Amino acid sequence: MNYSFVEAPFLGKSLNRRPVNIVGAGISGLLLGFFLKKQGIPFKIWEKNDTAGGLLGTLQTPYGIAEKAANGFLWSDSLVQICEHLKLKIIPPSTISKKRYIYYQKNLRPLPVSWQWVVQAGLRSLRPHKIQTYETVADWGNAFLGEKITQNLLSPALSGIYAALPEELSFPAIFPSLAKALTQKRSLLQALLQMRNNTSAAPAAYKGTLSFENGMQTLIDALQKHLQNDIAFNTNITECTPHENWVLCCPAGAAQKLIDEPYLYNDFSAIRYADIHTFTVFIPRENWQNQPQGFGCLIPRGQNFNILGAIFNDQLFPNRTISKDLISITCIMRDFDGSFSNISESNLLQQVQQEIDRLFAIQSNTIQIQHFHWKNGIPIYSPQLFNAWYKIHEFLHSSFSAIRLFGNYTGGISIRQMASNAEKIATLAAQN
């Protein structure tokens, strides 16, 4: 009774020291290029646009910075190597940004919301369960945590990362180590103890979300400069010649067109993306004098909000606004049913402001809302995607050995995971 995991840092056959063609100069392509260069393996990055970074980047507005996608990253040794080599100063989160909030029963409540929930979760962690596989996070959460904690804590926490509901998310894709442990241990506590005993990684030197003084664009600009002789911009690759090494670091739809293999059509069709909107909102501090101190808040579904959560940018990192008289927050929305496409830009921004005012019980009178829309924003780590990984990996390994897939839809959605996987790919290539 096991899951079919891909025990590899990308999909396809391992690289060797032969020259590598990387399609896409988004963050995954840049990270891979950095570590290949470090190992002395020749490569070329082909980018169809005139800039690097993909979704990731930072916009300088008249009132402060607005992140286009991720507002930071979690510590990993691979990312620290990059920052040290490129001489980038990592900015840790401020000491006042530790608190997290959940909107529950029409109020903003600091975690853990209810100590009764904590006790219930603790007792459930001791309870033995039948050893079995769980398809979705909801299946596992309802069994081990209970429906109330799953819907009101686990669901908003995962929505803030994956922009998806527990019912949509694959349990082994989201929690692979826990899924493996629960095929051997009957209680959650036993599984967690096994995971801790199996962990060999050094403790994180930095805790919490990290960034740079001028935002995530700092990382993109430094990687682009470091790889400037290895990137060809405004170049659209239309086919992958079989006698060369290829790593497709482009979105799944573009990768499917390049591979053009009918056998994999259904598997690529299983790779769906969430339609994401982010809004960085600048508010006069005098209009929100009792702003909660902390990282931000999350909102469970069913609370009559389209906003999934809000990050308190000015409390998390310095220099997020041009003046201390301003507050900066970033809200994230997902267009679950396509209804946002029928709303004008001005009405959508008005709706965001109204939801912020209702969420925090203020009259914000926002002075600017910077809106970014990503139609194919975040890959949904669904059970269908998890099952597609193994099939695509095996097929590429055996039948398309010149092509590999690497990106935020191949098993590592975060910058930290992609950096660690990029280092593993390059290290293995150097050994072959």
Q: 324 near 285, Cβ under 8 Å? A: yes
Paired sense of beta strands 403-405 and 245-248, if any: parallel
Integer Cα distance of 103 and 29 in angstroms:
37
Integer Cα distance of 363 and 353 in angstroms:
9
User: SS3 of 232, please?
Assistant: strand
Q: Do domains 20-55+74-89+209-271+380-431 and 274-377 have the same CATH topology?
A: no
Cis status of the peptide bond prior to 251, with omega within 30 of 0 = no
- pLDDT tens, residue order, the chain (432 aa): 578 899 899 999 999 999 999 999 999 999 999 999 999 999 999 999 999 999 999 999 999 999 999 999 999 999 999 999 999 999 999 988 889 999 988 889 888 777 787 787 778 778 888 878 899 999 999 999 888 889 989 999 999 899 999 999 999 999 999 999 888 888 888 888 888 887 766 666 778 899 999 999 999 999 999 999 999 999 999 999 888 999 999 999 999 999 999 999 999 998 999 999 999 999 999 999 899 999 999 999 888 999 999 999 999 999 999 999 999 999 999 999 989 989 999 999 999 999 999 999 999 899 999 999 999 999 999 999 999 999 999 999 999 999 999 999 999 899 999 999 999 999 999 998
Could you identify the residue written with the tokens 């008005």? 350
User: So what's the pLDDT on residue 236?
Assistant: 95
Could you identify the residue written with the tokens 């100069």? 25
* Domain range 20-55+74-89+209-271+380-431, CATH architecture: 3-Layer(bba) Sandwich (3.50)
Six-digit token string for 119: 């006790």
User: So what's the pLDDT on residue 185?
Assistant: 86
Tell me the CA end-to-end span of the chain in Å, nearest whole number. Answer: 33
In CATH, which of 3.90.660.20, 3.30.70.20, 3.40.50.720, 3.90.1010.10 is domain 274-377? 3.90.660.20
Q: pTM of the prediction?
A: 0.94
User: So what's the pLDDT on residue 98?
Assistant: 85
User: So what's the pLDDT on residue 4?
Assistant: 87
Q: How many CA atoms lie within 13 A of 53 on its CB side?
A: 21
Structural domain spans, the chain: 20-55+74-89+209-271+380-431, 127-198, 274-377
Distances (CA, A) of 222 to 192, 227, 237, 404: 38, 9, 25, 26
Segment holding 243, helix H or strand E = none
Q: Which fold has domain 127-198?
A: protoporphyrinogen ix oxidase, domain 3 (1.10.3110)
Identify any residues that bridge with 211 across adjacent strands, giving them in sequence order.
91
Integer Cα distance of 409 and 414 in angstroms:
10
